[in-house]
Amino acid sequence: MRIRLVPLLVATAVGAGCAGETEEPPQTFTAADAQRLSVIAPSASEWDWPERPTSTGVSDPDDEVPETADDPLIAALNDQIRNLEELGGASSKWTDDHKLAHLNVSAMSTALDAQVGMKAYREFLHAWGDTGGFGVAKDEDVDGLGDEAWVIWIVGNGNQVTYQWRNGNLVTEAHVHCYGICPTDVDGAAREWADAVEAEARSADD
């Protein structure tokens, strides 16, 4: 699984089910779906964002996961995702003087690969929050997003909330980092955005 969000997430700091439990569902989403969903702008009733992404990127499924990494947490993550296959993915970032939002969408070759990748990234993010000089205020499974979902809230250097969820073979990660003027409920604002992306993903799957 080419989890392109890792370098972007770590830069902001200066920012599950298990495979094999269920029968493999049919592959539904493609790289084109991932690219289309990745540009859905963050939305929250009490928070203004730039209308257009400040940066975008497309992942190449042929790129190999690096054998080594300077950060031991990323190295451990890479070891877990090395054999997962991605059909394609894309990401977008919106930022201003007070906040950053990052949306990453990956279409994996199978739902089982998507499950394994989600579990690995959740473990990485929790460890990063615990050891990076911050603190994990919340790590919970959540309902109402895809087939399975979780949220992690890291405090310190502002508030950072990450939702990750799976629709079949599609993995979506919505990350919000507020380091300036923030809404009263950063978690709620991030969930509102995640719900908007999820609604579009479900409509695409109909």
Average pLDDT of span 175-179? 93
169 phi/psi in degrees, rounded to 5: -95, 5
* 81, 117 contact by CB (below 8 A): yes
Q: How confident is the model at residue 133 (pLDDT cuts 50, 70, 90)?
A: low
The pair of structure tokens assigned to 34 is: 């991932």
Average pLDDT of span 153-171? 93
The predicted pLDDT at position 8 comes to: 38
Q: Is the pLDDT of residue 125 over 70?
A: yes
CA 174 – CA 186 distance, rounded (Å) = 12
Q: Which residue has the tokens 């990234």?
A: 121
User: Which of 1-5, 20-24, 37-41, 112-116 has the weakest average pLDDT?
Assistant: 1-5
User: Which of residues 8 and 95 earns the better pLDDT score?
Assistant: 95
Average pLDDT of span 71-90? 86
User: Which of 16-20, 76-80, 151-155, 181-185 has the weakest average pLDDT?
Assistant: 16-20
Indicate if the alpha-carbon torsion angle 107, 113, 190, 49 is positive or negative: negative
Average pLDDT of span 42-70? 79
The predicted pLDDT at position 67 comes to: 65
- Among residues 120, 114, 4, the alpha carbon closest in space to that of 59 is found at 4
Q: Is the pLDDT of residue 42 over 70?
A: yes
The predicted pLDDT at position 68 comes to: 64
Average pLDDT of span 74-102? 90
Q: Which pTM value belongs to this model?
A: 0.84
Q: Is the pLDDT of residue 10 over 90?
A: no
CA 25 – CA 110 distance, rounded (Å) = 8
Long-range CB pairs of 178-182 (<8 Å, 24+ gap) are 178/98, 178/99, 179/98, 179/99, 179/100, 180/97, 180/98, 180/99, 181/98, 182/98, 182/99, 182/158
